[in-house]
Each structure stands twice: as structure tokens, then as C-alpha cells.
Amino acid sequence: MNKLALGTVQFGLDYGVTNSSGKATISEVRSILNFAKKNGVDTLDTAPIYGNSEQVLGRIGVNDFNVITKTTELNNSVENVIDHFQKSLKNLHQNQIKGLLIHNFSDIKNNQFDTLFNKLYELKKEGVVRKIGFSTYSPNQIDFLLANFDFDLIQLPCNVFDSRLIEGGQLKLLKNKGVEIHARSVFLQGILLDFDKLSDYFLTWREKFEDYQSVVRESNLTLLEYSIKFVLGIPEIDKVLVGVNSESQLKEVVHAAKEKSNLKAYTINDINLLNPSLWKV
């Protein structure tokens, strides 16, 4: 099984602090998906808020892939969220998909959330989705989910700088519950691939970045190889999400991921770096 999965936010939006090429064209997306299929990358991650990503995927065709999408925000009604999900299916030209994740964790505080989660269970029972779960951003969120919900699938951040879920034991706890684990932010929006074009906001960590690059050079790996091999080497993780803008980028990732390595994290315990929503860029 290929542990790589394809994130599709770049198919619908300009995304990533180091992305200079913008949103992928539909012809480029078609090439990316063809290459993915030929190389055993069988899972696509999308969401309604990823611009027109779902429409692009539906136009090209995703019958050969396991598709995971996400809910819209629960700010009006449960029916509205389910209607948007039905629209996602229509955009994707699918009658059923692999997974549906709660995208906005703060929806749990909404007094309608239990009703929404029951609706997701109904969709699973009906076979419209095979797995339901959550998109998460922090160890505290995962601790809360483990204590309060039964679910099948989770998306969470993990990269060579961010080993919180390894050290905190959440990955093992999730795996012991039989939850399928998908890691994202493996390149930290491209930072781990290119330290030369960062804004002044990241000067705080310049010395650590330089030291990390020395560690990578000593390993005789490239920045891409080190960052992807580190996450692929974590046994609890089932899928590693990567986002690309071109077929050539995906080729590089697939090539970098071929040989397994057991690499150590270069932990930087600073939420102002690890959480992109806090970046002042």
C-alpha cells in the first residue's frame, strides 16, 4: 500500500507561503491525477472551502480514487451542512465516497452538533460514506475526541518540527482505537522544502532552521527526502497528505518516498511556528 495521499487545495486555491506558481490548471491537475493513479497514490483529500477543487476533480473524474471531503461550518443548521455535503457529491460526480470529516473543530461547541454527528452516522450506515471523523490541529483537540467520540478517521498535523502527537502518545491511542490516521502539514506549507524565501516573521527561528539544514546535509538526504521520509516512517500513520501544483512536483515526492528511512524529529516546540493560522505573513 502506498502511504502517500494527495491533498487538493492547490487545485482550487493559491495555497502555501512558498507557493509561487499559484493554482494548478485543469490540464495540470489531470496530469497529476494520472501520474498518481499509475504510482499507487489512491486517496484524494478535498473540501468545499478549497475553492473549486471539488468541481475540478469531478470534471476530470475520480472513480479510481478514495475521496475524502469535509463538512461546511455549522453556523446555520444541520440541514444546511448536509445539503452542502450532497452538493459536494454532485460536484465530485460520486454517489458515495470514502470519508467525511468535521472540518471546523469549533462546531463541537454548537448545540446542534450531536444532531449533526448522528447524521454523519446515518450517512455511514446508508453506505454514502465509509468512514467519518475529524480534521484536527492540536493534541488537546485529539485528547477531547478520544474521550468523547467514536470515529473512524482523523486528519492531523505532523512533520519533522512537530512531534507533539508522538511524544504525547496520541498517535498510539488513536491506533489502539482502530482509527485511520492521515497526516498533513508534512512540509509545513512548504517551509521545510525552502528556507531561502521566507518572510521576516520566520527570522525568530533562523538559527534552528540553519541547524536543521545541517542535520539534513549530514544525512545525505535532500530537504524533500528528509521531511517526507520522517513522516512516512511513523508506523501509526496510514496516509501522508502531500499537496502539489504540477506532475513534476508529484514525481519528486514519489521518488523521495520510495526508500524507507528511520529518521529522528527535529522538534521545535513553538506553536507560533507549528500552527500556520498564527503566522503573521
Looking at residue 107, which CATH number applies to its domain? 3.20.20.100
Q: Which residues of 92-127 are buried (b: 16+ CB within 10 A; e: fewer)?
A: bebeebbbbbbbbeebbeeebeeebbebbeebbeee
**CA 36 to CA 57: how far, in whole Å?**
13
pLDDT reading at 99 higher than 60: yes
Task: Share the mean pLDDT of the chain.
Answer: 94
CA distances from 224 to 29, 195, 217, 229, 265 (A): 21, 12, 12, 8, 14
Specify the pLDDT at position 22. 62
The radius of gyration of the chain's CA atoms, rounded to the nearest angstrom, is 18
120: part of which helix (H) or strand (E)?
Answer: helix 113-125
Give which of 218, 241, 222 is closest to 231, Cα–Cα: 241
Exposed e or buried b per residue across 234-264, where buried means at least 16 C-beta atoms within 10 angstroms of its C-beta:
bebbbbbbbbbbbbebbebbbebbeeeeebe
Number of domains forming the structure of the chain: 1
The cell numbers describing 97, all together, are 465516497
- CA 45 – CA 33 distance, rounded (Å): 12
Nearest to 259 by CA among 236, 225, 212: 225
Domain that holds residue 234: 4-278
Per-residue pLDDT at 14: 56
Q: pTM score, two decimals? A: 0.94
What is the average per-residue pLDDT within 99-122?
A: 96
How far is 181 from 179, CA to CA, in rounded Å? 6
Phi-psi category of residue 236: left, alpha or beta, with phi > 0 → left and psi -120 to 50 → alpha: alpha
pLDDT digits (tens, 9 = 90+) for 18-59: 444 567 889 999 999 999 999 999 999 999 999 999 999 999
Mean pLDDT computed over 3-22: 72
Instruction: Give residue-wise pLDDT tens across range 166-225.
Output: 999 999 999 999 999 999 999 999 999 999 989 999 999 999 999 999 999 999 999 999
pLDDT at residue 18 in the model: 40
